[in-house]
Chain A
Amino acid sequence: MTYDLMPALTPLIMYIVVSGFAAVFLYGVYRRFRLYFRGVTRFQLDRLGERITNAFVNAFAQRKVVKKPFPGLMHLFIYVGFVVLLIGTTLVFLDYDIWKTFFHQQILIGNFYLLYETSLDAFGLVAIAGLLIAIFRRAIIRPPNLPGSRDDVFIYSTLIVILITGYIMEGIRLAVDNPPWGAWSFVGYQVSLLLLVFSDKELVSIYPTLWWFHALLAFTAFATIPYTKLFHLITSPFNALLADQKPVGQLNSPFDLRGLLASGNFDVKIGASAISDFSWRERLSFDSCTSCGRCSNACPATAAETPLSPMHLILKLRNAMLTERSDPIIGSVIDQEELWACTTCRACVQECPVLIDHIDSIVDMRRHLVGDGKLDRAKRDLLNNLGNSANPYGLPTSDRLNWAQGLDVKTVKDQPEFDVLYWVGCSGSYDPRNQSVSRAMIKILNAAKVRFSVLGNEEKCNCEVARRMGEEGRFQQSALDLIQVLEKYEVKTIITQCPHCFNTFKNEYPEFGASFQVIHHTQFIAELIKAGRLKLRKGSEDIITFHDPCYLGRYNSIYNTPRSILSSLGPVTIREMHRHRESSFCCGAGGANFWYKVNQKKRINQIRFEEAKETKSSILATACPFCTSMFEDAAASVGSTTSPRVKDIAELVAARIDSSQFY
């Protein structure tokens, strides 16, 4: 901001005024940060380098913001525009208040000055464009889950008026001073031409009023940042800096059972029911939400019209925090049906530009509900079954290997020397539909002459489902037990056909001492094909669409491998669904949703199955037993002959194995 055309005492008065606004700003920041530090704190700053990179990439470089082209461009325009204007204003401050006052020199001179003037004028226009797009979206397009608020009206009008008055002032200065370089400020210059209708005297007399109006408005915009959603300017870089540095597939452990068993003291507070029960990083993250709606637009539970909308959940938590509620919020602010509707598909976390981890907080609240013990029968039966029968179905442990009758399958006891352990999983062991996938796997493994064993009756659910339901103790106990079993048989490598088992073994078991290699069956099959160990007959021409299972794709970034297997099946066309890879849409089974009824108007599996149908593919390929079951279910309820057939990739491969390979 230049003091040109202003009385000599202006800088002094302005600094007094600024300190008042700065106090309002700082008080606002203090008031918010104070709320984060209350109650339980868990403050981590390990791996600082990665944290700084994370903050830089996500906050300053806007990595996720720009992934949605139109709103991304809008945000980028406003962001870049104001960043450049901020740098410009800072340069004026340095130039005039520091350099000139103390060193009697100036930096904003010569060609640099001309470039400076042109850039500032240009980026002001960029910011205005961004603001106009923002207003257009909210007023005209009105995308779903984009709540209009008084914040928006205040922010957009203030910022636009600041920018326009800036141009008018520049125009007045150029009109009065009429310097030879005036045209470089190309917007201000155009304004100055318009202002020629006024006399210099008139312009000079209105200028101080305009100057103060512009300055006070800018200070107001600055001082109110901690009181509007613009506060994300401050919280989101911090949130990125403090984000958990762990594999995306690993849930936070609220305690370490080994330590508790050693100490004999099990009196630990588990789960979150009041705001103070959340970690301070969680509370900071609630306050980073800009209510952009991306999470809810991607959320399958929201699409199925369940009570859950991740954005509203976070906003409700934030509101409870800001109003300093200290009572339990589940049952009053948050309905437990919201929490049970989450499939933990991670679409919300993937989308969130400010790195909020909705799932961690949802599971934290589920832990409280489970600790309370008052679950409905389906959820109780599930946990009971895991405890009593070590599988979610409640079927006898001794029936675990029934699917393998008549097949060449050896247990670790029959064949203690093996290269890989084939982990069948509960679904592959007990569910008739997925037993067929297990049999396909055996055909593949035997055809490729892989030396493998299975655990047989010693295989027990790894309790991924218990952990995501919030029964952390059961999960950790079973992890410790299973790791012992796996160590007893000196297991080095595990193949799983279930991405949920895969993710938990790979990303969660290491915390409890596991050190074996974990491979998903798609990875293993792809390797076998690549190494020429499987001879596949070329079949008929097929159009296949592939559904990315959440725990394979978003959680573990395995996207190309399953597609490469499909391509190797012969004359195959892979036709992608509209939502695929990172934006894949959940089948509806995750987060234990497979096991209980969710209060919903539409069914997630049917929404997704319709998307598969739209591709007019003959086969809907998956690589997850739960996706397979959910889509079979959807296919049965659609009951149409034009529906694609649902197949696990292993089944498609096994069907093409040249029978000569067995002789």
Chain B
Amino acid sequence: MVKIIVLVKQVLQTAELKIDKASKGIVTQGVPRVISETDKNAIEEAVRIKEKHGGKITAISMGSPEAKEALREALAMGVDEAILVTDPRFEGSDSHAVASVLAAAVTKILDYDLIICGAYSEDMFAFQVGPRLAELCNLPQFTYATKITLEGGKIIVERDLENERQIVEGKTPCLVTVVREINEPRLPTLMAIMASSKKPTSLWSGDDLSLTEEELGYNGSLDELLRSTVSSGERKRNILQGDPKDAVLKLTKTLQQEGVLKG
């Protein structure tokens, strides 16, 4: 029996993002929302651990009311219970404020062996929330996990540090952040998502977590997003035609001239 909390963030589908030509800002309206990819890996890993050891999985999402859809998908993947933490006062939260809210939620649940979340979210790529949450909850943490093994009260985690692979052993309860390589998340069918509405889902606000105004949104944040600008990288769109052999030669020559290839 392993009690797992998995953190799920709903993000805008990046492929559908558009830039408003006038304001140069990002158009978010009408853009489909999906579960951040590494969080899907986190859910999948939780479900696999449960399939192997038995247990219960609770998914927590902090976000707008639409994030309920993301939680339904998580439930369809095999999560047992979902909690949506939502409050208009969360607006403007940075990763510290988000971690504080999640820490309050996790503390309220109290009984858990393992917290799993994506190493980063697909919208901000800050890699912050997991480590901060572990720190606030005073938990040992394992980041960038590519493999999780549970043995008795022990946890063995393989970590991908780009140039190095670490195998770390520790004790539960703890927090693990996972990367995409850890697994191939299952895809729930639409019918499974619809059927998941039968599973228990709770809505918590800032008040349910006994958080003060100082801890919420802009007030609770350590940093502030001043502005976002669009960086554009225009492609050169050179099409090399003709015989594949000549084209390849031309291509390598061009790449050498551009300094992409050496030699």
List A residues at the B interface (Cβ < 8 Å). Answer: 255, 260-261, 266-268, 270, 370-377, 379-380, 383-384, 387-389, 394-398, 471-474, 477, 639
Interface 1/0 per residue, B177-191 and A, CB below 8 Å:
000000011111111
Find chain B residues with CB under 8 A from A395 CB.
Answer: 15
Determine whether the beta carbon of B191 is less than 8 Å from that of A268: yes
Determine whether the beta carbon of B191 is less than 8 Å from that of A472: yes
Contact partner of B188 (CB less than 8 A), chosen from A261, A373, A377, is A373
Determine whether the beta carbon of B244 is less than 8 Å from that of A639: yes
Which residue of chain A has its CB nearest to the CB of B191?
A473
Query: Could you list 6 examples of A-B contacts with CB < 8 Å?
Result: A268-B191, A373-B187, A380-B184, A389-B16, A473-B190, A639-B244
Contact partner of B13 (CB less than 8 A), chosen from A268, A383, A388, A473, is A388
Determine whether the beta carbon of A396 is less than 8 Å from that of B15: yes
Find chain B residues with CB under 8 A from A384 CB.
Answer: 34, 187
Shortest Cβ distance from B11 into chain A, in angstroms? 11
Determine whether the beta carbon of A396 is less than 8 Å from that of B16: yes
A471 to B190, CA, bound (A): 8
* B82 part of interface (Cβ distance < 8 Å): no
List B residues at the A interface (Cβ < 8 Å). Answer: 13, 15-16, 18, 32, 34, 77, 184-192, 194-195, 244
Determine whether the beta carbon of A374 is less than 8 Å from that of B194: no
Determine whether the beta carbon of B189 is less than 8 Å from that of A477: no
Which residue of chain B has its CB nearest to the CB of A393?
B15
Shortest Cβ distance from A271 into chain B, in angstroms? 10
Determine whether the beta carbon of A374 is less than 8 Å from that of B191: no
A472 to B192, CA, bound (A): 11
Determine whether the beta carbon of A380 is less than 8 Å from that of B187: yes
Q: Given A373-B77, A388-B34, A389-B32, does the pair A396, B190 have CB atoms closer than 8 Å? A: no
Determine whether the beta carbon of A375 is less than 8 Å from that of B15: no
A397 to B184, CA, bound (A): 26
Q: Given A266-B194, A388-B32, does the pair A471, B189 have CB atoms closer than 8 Å? A: yes
Which residue of chain B has its CB nearest to the CB of A390?
B32
Determine whether the beta carbon of B77 is less than 8 Å from that of A396: no
Determine whether the beta carbon of A373 is less than 8 Å from that of B15: no
Find chain B residues with CB under 8 A from A379 CB.
Answer: 187
Find chain B residues with CB under 8 A from A372 CB.
Answer: 186
Determine whether the beta carbon of B15 is less than 8 Å from that of A260: no
Find chain A residues with CB under 8 A from B15 CB.
Answer: 389, 394-396
A267 to B192, CA, bound (A): 9
Determine whether the beta carbon of A370 is less than 8 Å from that of B16: no
Shortest Cβ distance from B16 into chain A, in angstroms? 5
Determine whether the beta carbon of A371 is less than 8 Å from that of B192: yes
Find chain B residues with CB under 8 A from A261 CB.
Answer: 194
Find chain A residues with CB under 8 A from B189 CB.
Answer: 270, 370-371, 373, 471-474
Q: Given A376-B184, A388-B32, A389-B16, does the pair A474, B244 have CB atoms closer than 8 Å? A: no
Shortest Cβ distance from B134 into chain A, in angstroms? 30
A281 to B37, CA, bound (A): 43
A267 to B15, CA, bound (A): 33
Shortest Cβ distance from B247 into chain A, in angstroms? 12
Determine whether the beta carbon of B13 is less than 8 Å from that of A389: yes
Determine whether the beta carbon of A396 is less than 8 Å from that of B184: no
Which residue of chain B has its CB nearest to the CB of A387?
B190
Shortest Cβ distance from A288 into chain B, in angstroms? 32
Find chain A residues with CB under 8 A from B185 CB.
Answer: 380
Which residue of chain A has its CB nearest to the CB of B34?
A388
A370 to B188, CA, bound (A): 8
Determine whether the beta carbon of A397 is less than 8 Å from that of B16: yes
Shortest Cβ distance from A291 into chain B, in angstroms? 35
A377 to B185, CA, bound (A): 9
A384 to B35, CA, bound (A): 11
A442 to B81, CA, bound (A): 52
Determine whether the beta carbon of A398 is less than 8 Å from that of B16: yes
Determine whether the beta carbon of A383 is less than 8 Å from that of B192: no
Shortest Cβ distance from B241 into chain A, in angstroms? 12
A270 to B188, CA, bound (A): 13
Find chain B residues with CB under 8 A from A371 CB.
Answer: 189, 191-192
A380 to B183, CA, bound (A): 13
Which residue of chain B has its CB nearest to the CB of A478?
B190
Find chain A residues with CB under 8 A from B16 CB.
Answer: 388-389, 396-398
Contact partner of A396 (CB less than 8 A), chosen from B18, B191, B192, is B18
Determine whether the beta carbon of B195 is less than 8 Å from that of A383: no
Q: Given A389-B13, A396-B16, does the pair A266, B195 have CB atoms closer than 8 Å? A: yes
Which residue of chain A has its CB nearest to the CB of B185?
A380
Find chain B residues with CB under 8 A from A389 CB.
Answer: 13, 15-16, 32
A387 to B33, CA, bound (A): 11
Which residue of chain B has its CB nearest to the CB of A376?
B184
Find chain B residues with CB under 8 A from A268 CB.
Answer: 191
Find chain B residues with CB under 8 A from A473 CB.
Answer: 189-191, 194
Find chain B residues with CB under 8 A from A383 CB.
Answer: 187
Shortest Cβ distance from A460 into chain B, in angstroms? 12
Find chain A residues with CB under 8 A from B13 CB.
Answer: 388-389
Determine whether the beta carbon of B190 is less than 8 Å from that of A474: yes
Find chain B residues with CB under 8 A from A397 CB.
Answer: 16
